[in-house]
Amino acid sequence: MPWCGTLRVVFLGTAASMSTIKARLQSIIYQLDDGSLLLFDTGEDVQRAFEEAKIKINKPLTIFITHMHGDHVIGLPGLLFRLGLLNRTKDVEIFGPRGLFFYLLAQRLTVGLITEYKILVNEIDLADNSMTAYPPMDVNFTLEGLDEQIKKVNFEDGIIKETKNHSIIVLNAEHTTIQSFSYIYKEQPKPGKFNPERAMALKIPRGHLWGKMQEGQTVTLKDGRIIDPYSESIVGTPREGRVIVLSGDTRPSQAIMEFIRNNRVNLLIHEATYTDEFQAMALDKKHSTIGEACAVAREGNVEKLALTHFSIRYFDDMQKVESEAKEQFNDVIIAHDNLAIEL
């Protein structure tokens, strides 16, 4: 059932630019209530991170790449290889910037990235709110007639993927690559709390009718009664779904600020590559400092802030990072590899 369980966010890698013995490169996965997986970025050795986090390989999986820097995509071919070696059968859909398809095509042509399952690549272009959808890359893929198989798909309001339970929204980030993205996970409104005693009092039989009412649907009984679950107080008022904003590599962006000012955000995951003393470097490299990330969270009134993507200079003394962050935002989490947050 949708919304009946916990949404779990696992930080598979939290380092910037270069991995160390203490931290892998950037990668974050959301484990949804229905068992499906949303993976954001694929830093080096993300495949082993899957194993450490005990994430099953044949669950529905969608991958989102924030930008085409090596520390965010270098682990993608290895992960796709591993899924093939472990006999994955379900398709893998991947969204990201221009160049993503040909990056994977080069892996196929040079080192044999050929899988039984389908790899479905969608390249995003926010300049005209469209995606380039490439033909499935699997054992049957061929370069013959490739141009004729490529499709352009338009989207609205930044929504690049939508399911019954949630949507994924893409925003422009402000980084050094031509295309850099932030991603928003936004659930559909949750049904209100179900009152079984009230349903039984109205002599509504258990079964599929209860399920429909839980989803807010009006039902018709065999005796002809039409039951509106809200007006009959069987289901409470619908609640807002959970919202997670993931910044990717970026300066504090106007796009994120505009969104979080106008939406209740349960969790903001924001890069904080540097402590505040390296403000000039953050400006030059188009990253954010801890203070800047905390300021975004305060101004947007987010419920919880998680900082990640730390320079390797800090991993011998993460207390400095934590102290600086907690001085500036109350409910802040300093992410580390294998940290799990439940919402």
pLDDT in tens, 213-264: 988 899 999 999 999 999 999 999 888 899 999 999 999 999 999 999 999 9
Residues 289 and 206 in one domain: no
| Mean pLDDT of all residues in 18-39 | 95
Residue of 53, 51, 134, 124 lying closest to 92 (CA atoms): 134
Give the range of the structural domain holding residue 222, as residue numbers without chain letter: 191-238
**Is 147 noted as a catalytic residue in this protein?**
no
**Could you write out the DSSP letters of every residue in 271-332?**
E--B-GGGHHHHHHHT--BHHHHHHHHHHHT-S-EEEE-B-GGGTT-HHHHHHHHHTT-SSE
Taking each helix axis from N to C end, the angle separating 100-111 and 76-85, rounded to the nearest 10 degrees, works out to 60
319-323 contacts: CB < 8 A, separation 24 or more? 320/275, 321/272, 321/275, 321/290
Instruction: Tell me which of 203, 238, 273 is where a domain ends.
Output: 238
Instruction: Tell me which of 203, 220, 238 is where a domain ends.
Output: 238
Active-site pick, 45, 71, 249, 337: 71
Count of domains for the chain: 2
Q: How does the average pLDDT of the chain come out, rounded?
A: 95
CB atoms within 10 A of CB 105: 17
The whole model's pTM is what?
0.91
